[in-house]
Amino acid sequence: MSLLTVENLSVVNSPSGRSISILRNISFSLNSGETLAVIGETGSGKSMLCKSIIGLLPPGFSRSGNIWYISSDNTKISIITAEESDLLNMRGREIGMVFQEAVASLNPVVRCGNQITDVLSVKSKIEKNKRKKHALKLLETVGLSEPERIFHAYPHQLSGGMTQRVALALALAGEPQLLIADEPSSSLDSISKKYYLNLLNRLKQENNLTLILVTHDVDEALSFADNILVLYAGCMTEYGRTGDIQKSPAHPYTKALLDIARALKENNLPAAIPGEISSLTNPPPGCRFHPRCPKAQDICRVKEPSSICISNSHSVRCFFLVDLS
Amino acid sequence: MISIILKRVLDSVPTIIIGITLTFLIVHLAPGDPGIRFLDPSQSPEIQQVIQKRFGLNEPLYIQYWNWVKRVLFHFDFGNSFYNGKPSSEVLRSALLPTILLAGCALVFALITGILLGILAAIRSNTFTDRTITIIMMLFFSTPAFWLGIMFLGVFSIQLGWLPSSHLTSLYHDQLNTIGRFTDYIKHLFLPVLTLGLPLAATFFRYIRSGVIEALRSDYILGARARGIGHNKILFRYCLKNSLLPIISLLGVIIPALLSGAVIVEVIFSLPGMGRTMVSAVFGRDYPIILAASILAFFAVVAGNLIADITYSIIDPRIRYQTRKNS
Ligand code: SF4
């Protein structure tokens, strides 16, 4: 059963009367225990997608469409229409989130351990005198070898890899079903990154987590995710099972991303996608990818492609699909 | 921690020495001398000399300075008032209580008002409530204390007659019971505390308001919200603690401001405090009192800075970490 179903989600920012479309018609569903990777360049709206799922869009942003979530007691909740108090209740306990800059997401003037017990005090039924013990255990589960020291440390006293794991412990403290990881490894060096991703995978299996992994690393997505969603300038260009996308990417943008990833892996200098990601404030008409698309035709410049289902788990938005043979 | 404190105390010794020396020089080089209080210009130069000699003012300046330093350092004697012959320490001791009461109450009042209104304005930012509070606070911020004091006096003491206009206690203070004395103090201190405290509250308000607004937008608040921490806890445990930091570092500047503000307020409301004592000492060229009061003021400022630094490092672990690394 789908734990999370997103239907035609759009996010609009309206500063001083203008309306800027940040996300357009995003639809996907995520089964319990699976991993969805959201890939795209910086500015494609990945973070906004995460924030709309957890209901924490900045002021001035509004959502339309539907986000359905099946809570642990099997009730279907519409996240978009839910009351703030219900969402507050859900955050941490049903849906957890880790951010790109872990150290920035921790309170600089409160000890790491106390931040964990803060969460435990509102998100779990653990008695007060047992919270510290539980927090130490959590720190151990996220692979921190000196839990006692980390418990008493302030965030700035820890390395990037450590704070990222503390942040993970915080997100898992309320034992959520769904974990949203917004580029959790992008600020880490390659060794810590690998370690972190393996840890994430292990914890996912142990706790039967459902994971949304936002990344701009295509390889990471291919090796960890069951499904992949490709975002370009706020539009969902392609969505499908990882195997399908890897074998037969249908959208020119997905294909370009995969080509770059492959070239990097083979230590070749990849040919970058020409041009820059189109701005959200002033998007090009028609298909938002057309200024950079090698296959663009006249129709792409005037008309926005609608979603085509190639198979029941693979959809794409493009008039001229990449050769599917 | 103790070594850091000691280091800071030692660091402040030169400041105090330079400050006191400068005060000594300024006071002695300023035109006019203590004699003017007792002398009639028509009196003969001989009498003038006798008086000068009595006060030790006939010696060259550096000898006077050296004598004074010796007395202060070795006998802890700040000299007697030229005016009434009482030891400086006694004069100042009796003047200290009203000033401490006034400055302390004003500080507490300013902190409470500034912080509460700052939080209120920040969580309602850009609404009618926020704008109203901000405008009122800006008015107090830009109003000079002497004008505010005179207005309060005019309205609440003279026009409405609600509160006394001067002194720390009523004439019949000694006949009152404890509660009566307490309310007597409050009545007398109310307007002076407002006069001194409101501009300060406005300063705190500005820092807290912008601090809380900034904190509310920060990533760690987003992080805390994503973990499902409730609003009140976010506001008080997460935002406020971080927005208090600039205020604590301000304390170092605020103590001198409070002292100089107290001078004006004490003069307006005729409170027998340090400020008024100092002003009359300056007008009367009562050197020992001026110098002793200056030393006290220097110590207050240095101590204020020290307390600010220590509190800051207690609240903000990042600073503690850095100082430890540097020292
Ligand atoms: S619709 Fe046209 S411009 Fe857009 S991706 Fe497809 S071919 Fe390229």
Task: Note whether residue B294 is domain-resident.
Answer: no
Residue A59 Cα distances to A12, A52, A96, A179, B239, angstroms: 11, 12, 21, 23, 18
Task: Note whether residue B195 is domain-resident.
Answer: yes
Judging contacts by C-beta atoms under 8 Å, the chain B residues touching residue A118 are 229, 233, 237
A108 with B220: Cβ contact below 8 A: yes
Name the residue with higher pLDDT: B53 or A83: A83
* CB contact B234 to A (< 8 Å): no
Residues B77-100, mean pLDDT to the nearest whole number:
79
Question: Residue B278 in 3-state DSSP?
Answer: helix
Residues B303-322, mean pLDDT to the nearest whole number:
73
Provide the token pair at A139: 């720190």
pLDDT of residue B148: 84
A97 with B226: Cβ contact below 8 A: yes
Task: Note whether residue B22 is domain-resident.
Answer: no
Residues B255-277, mean pLDDT to the nearest whole number:
82
Ligand 1: which atom is nearest the Cα of residue A321?
6
* CB contact B219 to A (< 8 Å): yes
Instruction: Quote the domain boundaries for residue B249.
Output: 93-285
Note whether A38 and A218 are within 8 A (CB): no
H helix and E strand count, chain A: 11, 12
Question: Residue A122 in 3-state DSSP?
Answer: helix
Residue A313 Cα distances to A5, A66, A325, B22, B295, angstroms: 14, 19, 18, 84, 82
Cα of A325 to nearest chain B Cα, Å: 44
From CA B256, how far away is CA B326, in angstroms rounded?
28
Question: Residue A316 in 3-state DSSP?
Answer: strand
> Tell me, what amino acid is at A287?
C
* CB contact B232 to A (< 8 Å): no
Going by their DSSP bridges, the two strands A227-232 and A35-39 should be labelled as parallel
From CA A12, how far away is CA A21, in angstroms rounded?
5
Tell me the domains of chain A and their CATH numbers. 2-94+176-316 (3.40.50.300)
Question: Residue A308 in 3-state DSSP?
Answer: strand
What secondary structure does DSSP assign to A215-240, as a single string? ES-HHHHHHH-SEEEEEETTEEEEEE
Closest C-alpha among B194, B316, B324 to residue B246 = B316
How far apart are the CA of A27 and the centre of ligand 1, in A?
19
Question: Residue B292 in 3-state DSSP?
Answer: helix
Task: Note whether residue B79 is domain-resident.
Answer: no
Cα of B321 to nearest chain A Cα, Å: 8
pLDDT of residue B297: 82
Task: Note whether residue B44 is domain-resident.
Answer: no
- pLDDT band at B72, cuts 50/70/90? confident
Cα of A29 to nearest chain B Cα, Å: 22
Residues contacting B259, CB < 8 A, separation 6+: B99, B103, B274, B275, B297, B300, B301
Bridge-partner residues for A210, per DSSP? A178
Task: Note whether residue B41 is domain-resident.
Answer: no
Residue of B nearest to A89 (CA): B228
Looking at the structure of chain B, the number of domains it has is 1
pLDDT of residue B35: 60
Provide the token pair at B80: 């007697």
Task: Note whether residue B155 is domain-resident.
Answer: yes
Instruction: Give the H or E element holding residue A54.
Output: helix A46-54
Q: Is the pLDDT of residue B324 over 60?
A: no
Judging contacts by C-beta atoms under 8 Å, the chain B residues touching residue A54 are 226
First-to-last CA distance in chain A? 32
Closest C-alpha among B33, B115, B84, B12 to residue B283 = B33
From CA A177, how far away is CA A179, in angstroms rounded?
7
- pLDDT band at B327, cuts 50/70/90? very low
Judging contacts by C-beta atoms under 8 Å, the chain B residues touching residue A212 are none
Task: Note whether residue B203 is domain-resident.
Answer: yes
Judging contacts by C-beta atoms under 8 Å, the chain A residues touching residue B325 are none
Among B123, B216, B220, B245, the residue to mutate for chain A (most A Cβ within 10 A): B220
pLDDT tens over chain A, length 325 residues: 789 999 999 999 887 778 888 999 999 999 999 999 999 888 888 999 999 999 988 888 999 999 999 988 888 999 999 888 888 989 989 999 998 888 889 988 889 999 999 899 888 888 888 899 989 999 998 888 889 999 999 988 888 889 999 999 999 998 999 999 998 887 788 888 888 888 999 999 988 899 999 998 888 899 889 999 999 999 999 999 999 999 889 999 999 999 888 888 887 777 778 877 777 888 888 899 999 888 888 999 999 998 888 888 899 999 988 765 4
In terms of DSSP H, where are the helices of chain B? 2-29, 45-54, 61-75, 88-123, 128-142, 145-152, 178-217, 219-226, 231-233, 241-268, 274-283, 287-315, 317-326
CATH number, domain of B281, equals: 1.10.3720.10
Q: Is A286 left (phi over 0), alpha (psi -120 to 50) or beta?
A: left
Q: Give the highest mean pLDDT range of A170-174, B259-263, B299-303.
A: A170-174
Phi, psi of A307, rounded to the nearest 5 degrees:
-75, 130
For residues B101, B106, B109 and B113, what is the CA-based torsion angle, rounded to 10 degrees? 180
Can you give the pTM of this predicted structure? 0.76
Q: Is the CB of A289 under 6 A from ligand 1?
A: yes
Provide the token pair at B310: 């220590």
From CA B18, how far away is CA B26, in angstroms rounded?
12
B228 with A110: Cβ contact below 8 A: no
Q: Is the CB of A196 under 6 A from ligand 1?
A: no
First-to-last CA distance in chain B? 11
Among A90, A93, A107, the residue to mutate for chain B (most B Cβ within 10 A): A107
B229, B230, B321: residue with CB nearest A157: B321
Q: Is the pLDDT of residue B320 over 70?
A: no
Query: Which of A295, A297, A317 has most ligand 1 atoms within 8 Å of CB, for mutation?
Result: A295
Q: Residue A318 burial by CB count (10 A; 0-12/13-18/19+): exposed, middle or buried? A: buried
Closest C-alpha among B108, B324, B57 to residue A157 = B324
A92 with B228: Cβ contact below 8 A: yes
A106, A111, A157: residue with CB nearest B223: A106
A56, A104, A154: residue with CB nearest B225: A56
Cα of B309 to nearest chain A Cα, Å: 16
Q: Is the pLDDT of residue B326 over 90?
A: no
Residue of B nearest to A99 (CA): B223
| DSSP tag of A248 | -
